[in-house]
Structure 1
């Protein structure tokens, strides 16, 4: 098939490469000239394990090309995927769908009547209906619009694209379903479930999934708040309740909470859309989910102040600054916010991260950066683990302890081998656990 992918950010670039890996002829559209030229040269504008190698492969085969705007090449596509961003609207919790609308309007004059448009962007329920109306007015025929939500996880995005746990399609006609089904045929042949839903339900799937995951994370962090004042251990608690198959142990890790470009903005956008629909009370609990998550950041700042007293002039090392490992994404990163807050209060903050230091230099140049782990902690009065990179889990606490000024670490992700660090003389402060003294 010939496929176009509109918008080559994190979602679009990954999806375009995945479609080419499946054997389709792919044309990617991206108006940002810097991003466009990088992709043409085989360079990703973000870090994602394995995706750069895959991009190089499909470029060599000629299965993928990139351009700035629609022309006869993209207009001949059988299937168009809309993958543009839906950020949180400025001054509001609602999702900004203006980029999706702009992409649909730009595509409409170039559409063939038999072509299918599949939205993959995360949008408020009801967006597809509005898009189809606008596109139909422009084209003069009923546009085959469907919704095909994405379920990518940063760090495993290509694997999630090529071996997803399900493919969801919401459509108004069978033709759209069959075209999208054909695009995913190599994946479906492996036995991947293919769910055909109505369009509003397909729009809801992604935000509902993210709301549930955010709730699960905040639930165990709420239990951590109770554990911290009662002497209980929230890590052991999570393990114990996780054996219940109705609960499961995934996303039950206590720590500084979730961040990134999806979960925070999606639950806020979900609440805003529910209010517009007159059922805001149905998801009002998400306000508490959001508040619990943000309190975990407050907790780490408070712990740092408790340990250091006046933080002015104190040397703090932040291990990891991206919102999750195997990513350089700093959007709504809990670790970054903690580092910024301590820096604003006068601490000398140095950041170590395996891949995110260049992104940090652009976003927050005031924070110190050190690529060598030992040098990053040298003379530190406090070490904070903010992102659970494997490099930190495997770090030698004796080697790091030999260069710090004060052997105190706040494990913001509960991933360190507490016994090993304590035997090396460290005071380990772990959220939700009563193991404060080394």
Structure 2
């Protein structure tokens, strides 16, 4: 038997309905916020992620699924969504759209070669939003509020918002120098990845999973101490808008996110549910002014977030939140005899065209077995057609809730079921 690839999953009937409901809620909220859907390719030029995500990140260094096609072109299964959306924004000249800022959302599979564990897969599904064209702190607050609204409407209560500022270029350079001076004397005690990042991007050291318990991590210089006046004021305005929205938050100066393109606002939404697991992050995002230029477009500020649908569902399970009720069908048809089967097939077909959820037996089972099948499908009604019913031009319709049954003329059956 051929096994499913490691780090992937089959989403089976009974489970997939939860995915559909979650995506429906997120889509509806995005529509209310005036975000429109965009769909980008599952694979892109490898260069896009080298330039967009950053060559010092774990994603680029260790986790990408990259390959050459038959034309020798370097391609990569997308590990995240922002770079693809920004590439599309640039390539389709969306910066010239009449409606600005351009507000987009997406959902789809992403791919990272990580060690599979609970809530973490090598193929996973992200839902994300991107707002391009505004450098207003209110835009940052809107994006954060959109993410928090999704979790609230899903029914999650045990979540917290953690936020930080990574500052502008000037602030980041000052912080980079302070980090380099802090780690350099003892960099030999860190892993090889951290040693290579010291000169390229020492901020990435703070995101290291191997050395996160090293004593220098706890005493590392805080970015908040190196924010210039402009960056500090920007961050204060973002927090003020969150206060206006009555969205609680916790400022965490160690929050850096795992992608190189972030600057100014960075945030994560975490689950605080008991027993949720070691990996508590549900959603991450932030501002990425400069990314559009890096990918060949005009100077355009941007901000967005993405969350894993798998982890959102795990959080719902941890809090005992039921997202969808058990599905029910409108009626199950039991037909006895070939002529009755022929009649039932026609009625079922016509009823489905009218929007009814109908089912019938296709295994030539006995009547008792068909009643059991109707129970398993949680049918609201059972419709019985046999030789006697055909002779009278009726069907027996039984209400499964009340137990009452009545004879209904065959020509009125669909109308009665709809009523």
Structures share fold, TM-score greater than 0.5:
no
Q: TM-score, length-normalised on structure 1?
A: 0.21
- Structure with larger RCO (C-alpha < 8 A, sep 6+): 2
Q: Whose radius of gyration is greater, 1 or 2?
A: 2
Larger helix share, 1 or 2: 1
Higher relative strand content: 2
